[in-house]
């Protein structure tokens, strides 16, 4: 009996040792057999957005390489060029003028901008940044498979730094648009673009923050912050999640040297999609407007006026005969909610108002001294910016 027990204990010890060695150096062998705790091998189905297991219905995270393979074909390189400027007397273009006066036209080198874009429609629509194509006379797009095409500028929106292009090619790869509401700080992401014109490049990181504003990059700011390396040339490229879905358009970096310091910003795809739909459908973006001058509510002001709220947006000015004025809003009111959306800062107020449809009615909750009020405001259309008026 003692001998049997000794053989059994030695066998168990050897088996445990083998499992330890295999689990350390070849864990995939155990995963394939469903022996690693917390890892279950199950058939997955793709619902067009997030793969789920048949057994549990829980999301299955794909390897980052699979996400890159899924999205990378839809990310393109964008070259925007502007005709060279002509210096000197405009009459120097006339051959007879040059013959008699000997003046030759002085030309500067053509201006060429490099960036990236993302194909989001099989019909050939691309998303990129406004600053990538701003003022361009010619826009060329190069796909990852080597094909090239001249792009038509469908429209731009400087207030969000979004531009929409269109190319005419067959069998275009497209990317699936993701769901921003499911994104959380700490989620793994990939940035895909053409940094420094070296060719398509994929970098990885996490979502560092959401709702970044006050950066002075555009009028409507609600950026996703990521530490995935974004460099010059990545602008207009894709920020994708671990399932290869597009969640943002890479826009800017925080840098003192021109290179990546691990702080990059992307426009959320829900905002970019809203802008694209307006540009494609109407040729411009329609936004709501109520005619107020807002600023963030600081604790000193709330304490001085003994306000019962500590979050909101202080209204410092109300346009006479504007929508807010007609609804009874006054300077000194603190906006705390628009519809069912809480408002904590100026950026949230601007984005919430912009999302309202002109000529619709919205309930805006305000704090006036010790009174909480709800004002029914008839939303107007946001006036065009100076840049948009100059384009016309």
Among 77, 160, 218, 235, which one carries the catalytic annotation?
Answer: 235
Among the listed residues 22, 1, 20, the one whose alpha carbon sits nearest the alpha carbon of residue 12 = 20
Torsions phi, psi for 231 (to 5 deg)? -125, 170
Integer-rounded Cα radius of gyration of the chain: 28
Residue 377 tokens, joined: 């405001």
User: Residue 293: in which H helix or E strand, if any?
Assistant: strand 292-296
DSSP secondary structure string, 177-215?
B--GGG--TT-EEEEEE-GGGS--EEEEEEEEEEEE--S
Respond yes or no: is residue 235 known to be catalytic: yes
Contact between 163 and 120 under an 8 Å Cβ cutoff? The reply is: no
H-assigned helices in 26-171: 27-32, 64-71, 95-101, 130-133
CA–CA dist 113, 136 (Å, integer): 9
CA–CA dist 32, 200 (Å, integer): 33
Among 131, 160, 241, 260, which one carries the catalytic annotation?
Answer: 131
Torsions phi, psi for 133 (to 5 deg)? -115, 5
Residue 334 tokens, joined: 């603190």
Among 161, 227, 241, 333, which one carries the catalytic annotation?
Answer: 161
Query: How crowded is residue 320: how many other Cβ atoms within 10 Å of its Cβ?
Result: 8
Active site residues: 131, 161, 235
């Amino acid at each position: 009996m003692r001998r049997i027990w000794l053989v059994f204990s030695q066998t168990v010890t050897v088996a445990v040792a083998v499992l330890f060695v295999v689990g350390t150096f070849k864990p995939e062998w155990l995963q394939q057999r469903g022996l690693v705790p917390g890892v279950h091998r199950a058939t997955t189905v793709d619902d067009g957005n997030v793969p789920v297991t048949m057994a549990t219905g829980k999301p299955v995270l794909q390897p980052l390489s699979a996400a890159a393979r899924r999205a990378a074909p839809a990310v393109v390189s964008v070259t925007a060029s502007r005709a060279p400027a002509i210096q000197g007397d405009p009459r120097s273009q006339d051959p007879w003028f040059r013959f008699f006066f000997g003046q030759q036209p002085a030309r500067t080198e053509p201006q060429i901008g490099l960036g990236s874009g993302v194909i989001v429609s099989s019909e050939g629509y691309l998303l990129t940044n406004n600053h990538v194509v701003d003022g361009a006379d010619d826009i060329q797009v190069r796909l990852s498979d080597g094909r090239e095409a001249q792009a038509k500028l469908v429209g731009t929106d400087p207030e969000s730094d979004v531009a929409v292009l269109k190319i005419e090619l067959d069998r275009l790869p497209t990317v699936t648009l993701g769901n921003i509401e499911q994104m959380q700080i700490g989620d793994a992401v990939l940035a895909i673009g053409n940094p420094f014109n070296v060719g398509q490049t994929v970098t990885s990181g996490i979502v560092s923050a959401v709702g970044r504003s006050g950066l002075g990059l555009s009028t409507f700011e609600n950026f996703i912050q990521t530490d995935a390396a974004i460099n010059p040339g990545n602008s207009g490229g894709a920020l994708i999640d671990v399932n290869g879905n597009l969640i943002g358009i890479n826009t800017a970096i925080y840098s003192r040297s021109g290179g990546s310091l691990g702080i990059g910003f992307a426009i959320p795809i829900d905002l970019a999609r809203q802008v694209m739909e307006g540009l494609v459908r109407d040729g411009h973006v329609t936004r709501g407007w109520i005619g107020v001058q807002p600023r963030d509510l600081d604790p000193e002001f709330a304490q001085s006026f003994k306000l019962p709220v500590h979050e909101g947006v202080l209204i410092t000015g109300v346009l006479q005969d504007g929508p807010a004025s007609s609804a009874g809003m006054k300077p000194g009111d603190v906006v705390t909610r628009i519809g069912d959306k809480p408002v904590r800062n100026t950026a949230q107020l601007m984005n919430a108002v912009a999302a309202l449809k002109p000529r619709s009615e919205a309930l805006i909750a305000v704090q006036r001294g010790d009174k909480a009020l709800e004002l029914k405001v008839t939303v107007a259309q946001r006036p065009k910016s100076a840049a948009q008026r100059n384009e016309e």
